[in-house]
Structure 1
């Protein structure tokens, strides 16, 4: 698990493209399972990688509200895209987890807890907004009195290899949330891609162990200048904004705004925004039996506040319409999350905007509520 260090605390070097290709051998030699970006079903997703050839070389993503498509680049960049539909959440907080099992025996029911054989995972290609999301999920699952053992077991073994953004999508607004696009902390290694290799920032002993197994070079002034310019390019491309000034009080004092009805007419309550969000953590627990009824598993599954039955209690639904469910999601993400965890639940990755089938943009909705409240 990456230590909380700042950029000024790290040392830097240059890793050629040829040596970067050997990174996979080094990671597998250290018993890491490498998870990173690859192309699957027309999108850049996170999956198991075996070599540099699995990366989306020469591809980028074009994103708009409700739209996503891949497009070929005019170079061979390996990380020349922003973020896709997957986040690292699925590797640390799996969509389905078996918590315990029960088997009927001659002596009665026998209950056992499930012990996972957890792999050491190396996350390759983590963006700055995703580092911020990991920090938020750490607070949710590890920071309180009750620690989630499934998340903890996976998180403490994870090696984080971040990649600084050199381009931004039209749906990105990480600058508003102060979460990017520069990787500041929470990584073991951070890379900035140049045409002939990578500027590498080494922040932890675990990161140092990996780099020591590769042949690196001292950074030149030209390489430092190129890296700075490449990172600034992403900053300059970000146009979408979310005004966070007193946003908690703004939303909580406008719970009856007519804007919620306007949103409800468009929202499909499909749960896409919560599924792609890197910080949403709602779940439910189900008892799943085999056909004989002699084996039962207690499973935790991802759930969503957009599902009608998620608010079911005491024989009724607390949020029985789309208006209430969208309002619950947005006010929790941007307002009451601050009460619970001391931070916003949004990192500005823009996934909820891109993957909303009707293109609802929470930055626009927050701005509309602010404008209405000022009239």
Structure 2
């Protein structure tokens, strides 16, 4: 067995230039595949970080239409509900339109209680609660724009016109790697006061209600109870789990996600063809050697093992090196895209999938050359000598 392994390794690197080029191709394909799969994971990242004990209640017609603030007390009285909060999408512009990040007006105390994954120090939390113009931002968002606690963050309103100035009172960190650290939160009361001053119809209205459940198994029952409560009202509601709410946004771009997934597997097919071509060339060059081995009494299975082993070694070397380069490439990509993908990290599933596919590519690429090498007649191999 030891000599078989040594022979396979020597064969794999006999034609050094061809092997290096093939390995390079596999490295590039592995990195590209890993980045595309990570992008797909990031697209679904918001839904994966949701809690089973939270519901979202919105206007049944569209998310664009608000709900009255008075709904909160009625929702709180529904059996199974332990806490409620609310938020508004702000949608302002920081300096220029290219600096996009999600901004929400929230009721600070109840909202942060429902979202314990946004971790703030007690000092930062107190400062945020006390300052009506105060705001908090995620660690990744603050690092992107170089913000520090105490900075004034100017934002130009789009949905809510005007110039808005917020004082950064805290920088939260995610409780896990899946927690979104690109969000910006400020006081809903600050927004509502400005709306009342200009006599806006959206005053005393909220975008969505966040509902905390006593038990995740009550989600369907509580959702129906809330929607029944406001049936036939001027603003009927649609209540769903937080995950379903997030997946609703993903569904809007499902075609893009599907294209990315298809392209990721097209890359595999291309590199499989490249590796198969390499193995076919190697097998043709060694017909004399295979004929000699058969003449010496080695079975066809031995020759097949040589070809399979060589192909798998080349594919695995390329796959492992590709995985090695994938992590820094993902970091560079994450820095370039800024806050577009809140969480852009290579998961263990993606890493194992990349390695597994490299192994399968090695096996698949060697299938036909191994079969031809194992079944080639001795006379056909010797006929090319001289």
Give the TM interval when normalised to the shorter protein.
under 0.3
More helix by share: 2
**TM-score w.r.t. structure 2 length?**
0.21
Q: TM-score, normalised by structure 1?
A: 0.22
Larger radius of gyration: 2
Ranked by relative contact order (alpha carbons within 8 Å, sequence separation 6 or more), the top structure is 2
